[in-house]
Structure 1
Amino acid sequence: MSVLVLSLAALGVLLGLVLLGYGLRELGFAYRIFARDPHTVLDTPNGGSVELSGTVLAWDDVLESPFTETACVAVEYAVEEKRRKSTNNGSTTKWVEIDGGTLVVPFRLEDESGNVLVDPRGADLRLTEDARIRVEGGEAPPVPIARYIERDEDVSDENTSLSLGPLEISTGRDRRYLERRLDVGESVHLLGTARRDTTASRETGQVNAVVERSIPPESGLLACVRHRLFGPPFLLFDVSERRAARRVAVRGLLSTLAGVLFTVISLAVGAGGL
């Protein structure tokens, strides 16, 4: 019995340390955003880690969000379905994600000094929820969602019903359609890595640089994991600098407190099992 308790305690300590490390890293990002003024676009050709704040401009392509058909350069979307589960005490309902994804395209960030190309592939998107559309089972969805269902083979139409004489009973399940977007013309704040690129400018006001995810200095799985954990961040926000810092700080604080709690409780359980 003590071996099992010690094993569970060790797993708890490990989980606590992971949460603690993640939380401290987030708090470090929050301090960096709070304490430093953003760079200007004109600084990006120098390369290296940058923090930028500006407005989203369209580049070559623009996305159309799946549920509202809004012009954007990044979108995270999900389809959730209400499911009922039987238990010993009756039944419970919960929302289950049945489909979703992330789409991004390059865009330009513009501030007072000019604009720079941003390649958002691999970015950690910290976007606000822009749309939460609930469609009851048996109801016709809005036109954009109906078009999405027609395109996606994994999502069936829940606008179904059963006719029993004069009665018509809805048989479809309730769904929620969620979108988090970075729209064209919206404010954007980012932490990333700039690289000089003479092919990135085509017009006056555009600089010869690209902001993107940093590349690991070494090859190999271990180097990639180490770079992912400790390398320069690539964060994209659809809010102002101050709100971005606050958002990161809250996440970091919650994770840090959870890590400390897990670690302390696990150590106490482990000590009791000795």
Structure 2
Amino acid sequence: MDKLNIATKGALSLVFIIAFAAVVLYILNNNLSSKELGLDGRVLIYAFVFLIGGIALFYFGFKWLREKLLIESIPTSKIRSLAMGIVEVFGEVIPAEDKLLRSPFTNKDCVYYEYSIQERRGSGKNSRWVTIRHDKNFYHFFVEDETGEVLVDPDGANIDIPFTFTYNSGLFKDPPKEVQNFLKSEGLSFEGFFGINKTMKFEEKALVPNKKVYIMGEAGDNPFVEEATSQKGVKDVMIQKGKNEKFFYISTKPEKEVLKGMGLKAYVGIALGILFIVGSLIVIFAFFNFL
């Protein structure tokens, strides 16, 4: 993996240097000044904004690429033959000791849920969505394949699952009864002045029993040995967020889809990052007549 990291960093650095050098040479060869480029103070501000955005895109693009390469370098293990360290498994979600949560908007039995409540505030061009509540909850659960099952602690994982519920309420459109009950229990209301409905958005994700999941994390010591040994075929192992390798990922997508999505994000992020960084640096250098 270290060799992959070194090779990737080297390739990306080379691409960046070539792109930057090509644009600089073009401007120098054509003797373009800041006036000829039509630059003013506002353009300089935009250039710095794009520079920051480009650095962020490049960073996250490289991060996603590293995660993609890590997934590709780790083979999927059968649970019965798990070894300590970074592992990759695929199986069904099984509640631990029948511990289940109820998702807030759909009342689904689940081992993990996440929800958000947003409200549209302001008017016209100044209107925006404001998150007024965002929370998640989870229980430990087992993942089971044809060879056995292992305990999973999802705390700290990047949990990539689809929405189980989305709803927009507004004028003459009340939220469903389950949502109204939840709002009431949380001391919130979907109504504003004179009982007029607010414009709100409700979203929920839930990881339900028997759902197939792909997991990459660290197989380490199981602190709940008694709990685990009460389940058939479970070793003293728990998949969790690692101390050294922080990448911990849970998804309802199969590995091929996970890799495809990560690859697309990585390459788009890196390409746009390089484009924004090079373009903004050219503008900044030209503005101060450094070129």
| TM-score, length-scaled by structure 1 | 0.78
CA distance in 2 between counterparts of 1:233 and 1:31 reads: 12
Which among 246, 249, 253 is matched to residue 235 of structure 1? 249
- Shift of residue 108 of structure 1? 0.6
**2:201 corresponds to:** 176
**2:189 corresponds to:** 156
Which among 270, 274, 279 is matched to residue 256 of structure 1? 270
Residue 74 of structure 1 contacts residue 181 of structure 1 at CA under 8 Å; is this kept in 2?
yes
CA distance in 2 between counterparts of 1:142 and 1:132 reads: 11
Matched, 1:98 2:112: no
- Shift of residue 93 of structure 1? 4.6
Residue 138 of structure 1 contacts residue 173 of structure 1 at CA under 8 Å; is this kept in 2?
no
- Shift of residue 7 of structure 1? 8.6
Which among 96, 99, 112 is matched to residue 59 of structure 1? 96
Per residue, is there more strand in 1 or in 2? 1
Residue 217 of structure 2 contacts residue 242 of structure 2 at CA under 8 Å; is this kept in 1?
yes
CA distance in 2 between counterparts of 1:173 and 1:13 reads: 38
**2:71 corresponds to:** 33
Deviation string 1:32-60 (CA, Å, 9 cap, x unpaired) is 4356531121233x210111111111114
Unmatched segments (≥5 aa) in structure 1? 163-169, 217-230
Residue 80 of structure 1 contacts residue 175 of structure 1 at CA under 8 Å; is this kept in 2?
yes
Q: Which has the higher contact order (CA 8 A, sep 6+)?
A: 1
Taking the TM superposition and a 5 Å limit, the aligned residue runs for 1:192-203 are: 192-197=217-222, 199=225, 200-203=228-231
Residue 137 of structure 1 contacts residue 175 of structure 1 at CA under 8 Å; is this kept in 2?
no
- Cα RMSD after superposing both structures: 2.9
| TM-score, length-scaled by structure 2 | 0.74
Identity of aligned residues (%): 24
Distance change in 2, residues 1:196/1:42 (3 Å): farther
Per residue, is there more helix in 1 or in 2? 2
Query: What is the SS of the residue equivalent to 1:134?
Result: strand
Greater Cα shift, 135-144 or 171-180: 135-144
Which among 237, 247, 254 is matched to residue 209 of structure 1? 237
**1:24 corresponds to:** 62
**1:272 corresponds to:** 286
Greater Cα shift, 22-31 or 57-66: 22-31
Unmatched segments (≥5 aa) in structure 2? 1-38
Residue 186 of structure 1 contacts residue 238 of structure 1 at CA under 8 Å; is this kept in 2?
yes
Larger Rg: 2
In the alignment, residue 126 of structure 1 is paired with which amino acid?
D
Taking the TM superposition and a 5 Å limit, the aligned residue runs for 1:126-165 are: 126-153=160-187, 155-158=188-191
How many residue pairs match? The answer is 246
CA distance in 1 between counterparts of 2:117 and 2:45 reads: 38
Q: Which runs of 4+ in 1 moved over 6 A?
A: 1-8
